[in-house]
Amino acid sequence: MDGTITIRAASAHEMPDVLAFIRELAVYERLEHQVVASVADLSAALFGPQRYAEVVFACLDGVPVGFALFFHNFSTFLGKPGIYLEDLYVRPAARGRGIGKRVLAWLAATALERGCARLDWAVLDWNEPALGFYRNLGAEAQDEWTTMRLTGTALQRLARS
């Protein structure tokens, strides 16, 4: 059974489902110990007065089997916004049906509709299936860049300096 694939925005009442997808992704990425987000956190960030990100579900015959969380960034060199894909996950039982590609195509079309110049994301360097999948779509690794991050006490220390 192939089924019908659709992409739709998540609703505010679906934050428990979004958190479930985030936890599944974290297990796949071997990072489940880092998930501290709550339904309340997601509700505030995605549907509060300041909306920081958006979520769409990839559905197979109307049932969510994957999700993508994304937000806008900005390229000063291009003078245009972009979309940054924070998370993309398709449940193992639904893989191999083109769902991930459909989500990325939806994001690409959304980026163009919104006047964005690019679509960016990060992938773990050990995730060969994802790396191959992205390369086959025409994505190029940005190996000359190193991602930097401040969190926890380092972030607090800098904020106080």
Single-letter amino acid, residue 129: P
- Reading the block at residue 152, the tokens are 């926890």
85, containing H or E segment: strand 80-90
Q: How many Cα neighbours within 13 Å face the side chain of 160?
A: 6
Which residues, 6+ apart, have CB-to-CB distance to 75 below 8 Å?
81, 82, 117, 118
Contact 137/104 with Cβ under 8 angstroms?
A: yes
List the catalytic residue out of 28, 52, 89, 134. Answer: 134
Q: Is 134 a catalytic residue?
A: yes
Closest to 141 measured CA to CA, from 151, 131, 149, 155? 131
- Which sequence positions are flagged as catalytic? 134
